[in-house]
Amino acid sequence: MNSVINYAHRGASGHCPENTMVAFRRGLELGATGIETDVQMSKDGALVLIHDESVQRTTGQHGEISQLHSDEIRRLDAGSWYSQEFAGERIPTLDELLDWAASTELTLNLELKNNIEPYTGMEEKVIEAVRARGLEERTIISSFNHYSLVTCKRIAPEIRTGILYVENLVDPWNYARNIGAEALHPYHLTMESFIVRHANAAGIMSNPFTINDPERMQQLIDMGCAGIITDYPDRLDEVLRSVVAQSNKPL
């Protein structure tokens, strides 16, 4: 198969409630070769997988992750908001995801959500959990908080980091290299072929987000992106299979 990594964004979030174990498992079933997820930290220091700093949108309850105990978070229903089919799905911990992923060949893109809430000590906790399962080579730590990425690289130089950004940056491949990052994780509309070309030449991967349109997926593949982050890994899998089929056609 094509070497482009198919990252299921918050799991297969186009089909299942985001950042739940059912979404991660469904992503793998639909052809994902990577999982993207969001890491936050509870009041008692547990690492939990949820995008928002509040639980309201995905559970219908009130409270900030940083102010809730992990036991309180684990009791919440994170599936019913999406569909009653998923009623009772829980907000998973990072440990749950890593334990499951360790038995697969998935690449993990762990986004530290510490650009709003500082979550002191999060970097050490995430790295400890990754190292405990020997997943260093299959993990990329990303964040909009680039100071946090520098901290991660200082603690664990063997784990790759990726800079998240949504605006156009000048020579982002140079910036990434200057802070020790190995990957660009931009909003996909900022991604252009000359950026990918320069990044690849500098040894910097390009993993744009979030692409659900097959035509745009094909454009980014043609540019030479290393990975694509999508809510629909099945769509990307189909595009990648088509690329392989075309390349195998006899001349």
pLDDT digits (tens, 9 = 90+) for 173-215: 999 999 999 999 999 999 999 999 999 999 999 999 999 999 9
Average pLDDT, the chain: 97
Share of the chain above pLDDT 70, in %: 98
* For residues 52-59, average pLDDT: 98
Sign of CA dihedral 133, 134, 137, 138: negative
| Domains of the chain as residue ranges with CATH | 5-52+94-247 (3.20.20.190)
pLDDT of residue 122: 98
15 is catalytic: no
Instruction: Identify the CA nearest to 64 among candidates 80, 41, 97.
Output: 41
Q: Choose, from 9, 15, 185, 188, the residue flagged as catalytic.
A: 9
For residue 9, indicate whether it is catalytic: yes
Task: Dig out the tokens for 72 from the structure.
Answer: 């309180």
Burial (CB count within 10 angstroms: exposed 0-12, middle 13-18, buried 19+), residue 41? buried
pLDDT for 139 equals 98
Q: Which of 15, 51, 146, 198 is catalytic?
A: 51
Q: What pLDDT does 1 receive?
A: 44
C-alpha 190/C-alpha 99 separation (Å) is: 35
